[in-house]
Structure 1
């Protein structure tokens, strides 16, 4: 594969030079070639550097340097935002959580990109939508994400499709084997917003309209979602230690045998498979009356408005999101790729049996609101739910749900 790289890059560059403009109109930053810095979340799989090395070997005058940001999305955003607010040119290519598109575009922190430079028609459609704001392409999908339910096949005969089935199985396993039944990401951060959003969606509700202009949250649906979590904590099949869990804590608890079920992103599959082998099972998240709805996640790649080498940055993104590199994203990083055809590849399905379930989950997932004030919305949800879960005996689910609706409406009114 390495020997084919110069040919691939030559085709890439030629295609980029003849690409059509962005259908949304507006200027694009195309000038500047030279060394660039790629700022993204910490790589826990060690697969990124070899991909960067291949680029650097073919582009000695346009080398890319990896700058690893904190693991948590909230901390990444804070660091990136501080850099861009200062109009620093330190970052060129930026790994952006899919929920940041509107905020970064609205603030002028990233540049619009030419659609014709990238094979968007071969990407999963819901994933492409996360990179578009006001009819312009502001980033390129790099990885997708949808929450999955991991379970122990040696403890679970048939994976649950509903919350009631999950509760019954988790309670029995907790009592019989003295381990935790189920956990997600319940610390007060973006992960809790995601988990609560998924619970609301899986109960048939929605928090905010797709365009972020209207609060569509039905407190009755929110009460159902909260009761599911409250009940688990009261009955102790959701262990209280999970109130401090982020992704890594829940992953470790599951693969170390301390949980029978765990909600997590697909990147947890590789380490869990290595630890548990045939004891690992993966299915869609359960819901109130059947399979639930995940929150659509993932990372898109944007170009800093303050980069001095924006042409190189765009060509690097085109290389980095190519079909062969996206294959490596899956095979070497255990992250969900964005190319649709990879989910239907028999060889990949044999190696990663969860791919059909993951594709189904991504296509059925719901994106978070497209809002320049998304960070405020998320903070309200995470802090309110965390407070309620930490003190379930003093706050009722209906009071918490009503409070969340009121605070969300206040944010939407003032944006």
Structure 2
């Protein structure tokens, strides 16, 4: 039974907790100022296509402290697994870690990264809420590098032909997807529905866009309302049953959903902003646009995403690592993050730059989406929370578990993680 499986999974994962942020503060270099020399940047390959020339700039200016790029798998879950295995072994192979914003608490609590001096980073120049993703127990553990919020990509050419505006509500999305899927022989809607962190994000966005929450802000209690959860999950499951969410979408991560939309196989797609640049360089150029995610009664709420740069507690060259992070989160590189990588920078002023808005007309929508996004729970147990959510939601989307049973299983499973043994 799914409920027993989720509970067992949560119990087994909860047994893996270790370390504390207080212990981490007394690690090899409290402020990341010890040692200079060559360093490595470990980061997921889904974010690396534009990095080589940017890293070359650093290497030309620092021939005795070059940085080497170590590409980790595309999927966030696999990135985390490789980092954790390295850090648990106390390996010094990784110096700078590209951390998903939801990993801050876990890595700090385990003593795997070192705290940073807030005064050395312009946190007040960043978009509201972004800096908070790098703070745990009132200490800064990483430097925000890239922000993120989900957007709804849509075929503007088709909607224009049909005299339709982009959907703001789930009902509008469903109606347009159902009607136009058949008429244009195109898939209606897809997000990231493979059972991994991406599905957790999609489900969390649905719950929040229906007016609910999953955990309390301090992540100490389960706040999931069964009725709201049924509405959120039922919307997605209904799409699969009715056919406007293609069954193939249940295998999609970010890259698969990006390609499906870019290749003209989808009318609507939920994805991160990095999918925008490649689409403008494809046959879809001029035929698509982006807007905020729809919600139950109006515009929805995205999960706040992004990437923060942290220093491994086992790095032998922490001073170089710190200098590199300060350089790589500076204004020059932040601009290139957007212009060369199509990733959302963390510096607020770039979103109001007229020249950038002319080049990237989606910037105002993106800024609004980031400012209205809500962070995922800040907890050292986030990985367990995510696994429980994604496995349960996947069972419902695959039509193996009824929605009512799935949300009940989810609430029980989350309780096992948040209150292990309680």
Fold shared by both chains (TM-score > 0.5): yes
Hey, what does 1:403 align to over in structure 2?
A: 409
Structure 1 residue 397 displacement after superposition:
1.6
Question: How far apart, in 2, do the equivalents of 1:360 and 1:167 lie?
Answer: 24
Hey, what does 1:56 align to over in structure 2?
A: 59
Which of 220, 229, 252 is equivalent to 1:213?
A: 220
Q: Is the 8 A contact 2:152 2:293 kept in 1?
A: yes
Q: How does 1:144-183 map to 2 (within 5 A)?
A: 144-156=147-159, 157-183=164-190
Q: Provide Cα deviations, 1:359-408, integer angstroms capped at 9, x if missing partner.
A: 100011011111111000000000011011112xx532222111101110
Q: Is the 8 A contact 1:210 1:367 kept in 2?
A: no
Are 1:239 and 2:246 matched, yes or no? Answer: yes
Which of 196, 206, 209 is equivalent to 1:202?
A: 209
Q: How does 1:200-279 map to 2 (within 5 A)?
A: 200-275=207-282, 276-279=284-287
Q: Is the 8 A contact 1:326 1:337 kept in 2?
A: yes
**Residues 312, 185 of structure 1: alpha-carbon distance in 2 compared, 3 angstrom cutoff:** same
Are 1:139 and 2:147 matched, yes or no? Answer: no
Question: How far apart, in 2, do the equivalents of 1:49 and 1:213 lie?
Answer: 42
Question: How far apart, in 2, do the equivalents of 1:29 and 1:105 lie?
Answer: 14
Which of 71, 96, 99 is equivalent to 2:99?
A: 96
Secondary structure of the 1:301 match is strand
Are 1:298 and 2:306 matched, yes or no? Answer: yes
Unpaired stretches in structure 1, ≥5 consecutive residues: 1-24
Aligned residues: 389
Hey, what does 1:190 align to over in structure 2?
A: 197
Which of 363, 373, 377 is equivalent to 1:369?
A: 377
Q: Is the 8 A contact 2:395 2:406 kept in 1?
A: no
Secondary structure of the 1:143 match is strand
Cα-Cα RMSD: 1.2
Structure 1 residue 155 displacement after superposition:
1.1
Q: Is the 8 A contact 1:181 1:261 kept in 2?
A: yes
Are 1:47 and 2:50 matched, yes or no? Answer: yes
Unpaired stretches in structure 2, ≥5 consecutive residues: 1-24
Structure 1 residue 234 displacement after superposition:
1.2
Q: Is the 8 A contact 1:111 1:304 kept in 2?
A: yes
Are 1:288 and 2:296 matched, yes or no? Answer: yes
Q: Is the 8 A contact 2:32 2:322 kept in 1?
A: no
Secondary structure of the 2:84 match is helix
Q: How does 1:120-139 map to 2 (within 5 A)?
A: 120-139=123-142
Secondary structure of the 1:95 match is strand
Question: How far apart, in 2, do the equivalents of 1:120 and 1:224 lie?
Answer: 38
Question: How far apart, in 1, do the equivalents of 2:229 and 2:403 lie?
Answer: 8
Question: How far apart, in 2, do the equivalents of 1:235 and 1:127 lie?
Answer: 38
Poorly superposed stretches of 4+, deviation over 4 Å: none
Q: Is the 8 A contact 1:45 1:332 kept in 2?
A: no
Question: How far apart, in 2, do the equivalents of 1:227 and 1:163 lie?
Answer: 11
Question: How far apart, in 2, do the equivalents of 1:210 and 1:90 lie?
Answer: 35
